[in-house]
């Protein structure tokens, strides 16, 4: 069985998130998704709209996902790969080169981001729409 793993915050789940999960699953038989915990996101300087348990449940419900685990620290990737017998590590190409050191454990693949879709853009759009409606 070929196992694939990917990591993310998955806040404000959108089409780009779905596409990376779909493409990751297509590389193997079993997809593990590590969802960043609220505490880990705070260390990264990220503030989420939804708490970890909600984001994990959303990701868990996607048909391409076989297992959701918490991402609690940067260093856990090597442990996750070896403990779960992972063959392929997948991330978006905005991380290109950052995880090449994991090649000693498995294949590392970077997918192009889905054009014109990002959580940051969604958040900016919502803020802008709210500002417009408050002015009118």
Residues with a catalytic annotation lie at: 44, 46
DSSP SS3 for 122: helix
Contact predicate 55/30, CB 8 Å: no
Q: How far apart are CA 136 and CA 128, in angstroms?
A: 13
Q: How far apart are CA 92 and CA 96, in angstroms?
A: 7
Q: Quickly count: other Cβ atoms within 10 Å of residue 118's Cβ.
A: 17
Q: Whole-angstrom distance between the N-terminal and C-terminal Cα of the chain?
A: 57
Q: How far apart are CA 86 and CA 4, in angstroms?
A: 6
């Amino acid at each position: 069985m070929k196992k694939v793993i990917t990591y993310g915050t998955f806040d404000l789940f959108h089409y780009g998130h779905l596409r990376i999960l779909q493409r990751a699953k297509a590389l193997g038989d079993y997809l593990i998704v590590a969802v960043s915990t609220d505490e880990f996101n705070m260390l990264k300087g990220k503030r989420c709209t939804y708490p970890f348990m909600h984001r994990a449940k959303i990701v868990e419900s996607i048909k391409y996902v076989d297992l959701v685990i918490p991402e609690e620290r940067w260093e856990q990737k090597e442990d996750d790969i070896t403990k779960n017998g992972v063959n392929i590590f997948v991330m978006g190409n905005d991380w290109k080169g950052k995880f090449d050191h994991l090649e000693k454990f498995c294949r590392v693949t970077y997918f192009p981001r889905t054009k014109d879709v990002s959580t940051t853009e969604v958040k900016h759009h919502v803020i802008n729409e709210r500002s417009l409606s408050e002015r009118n």
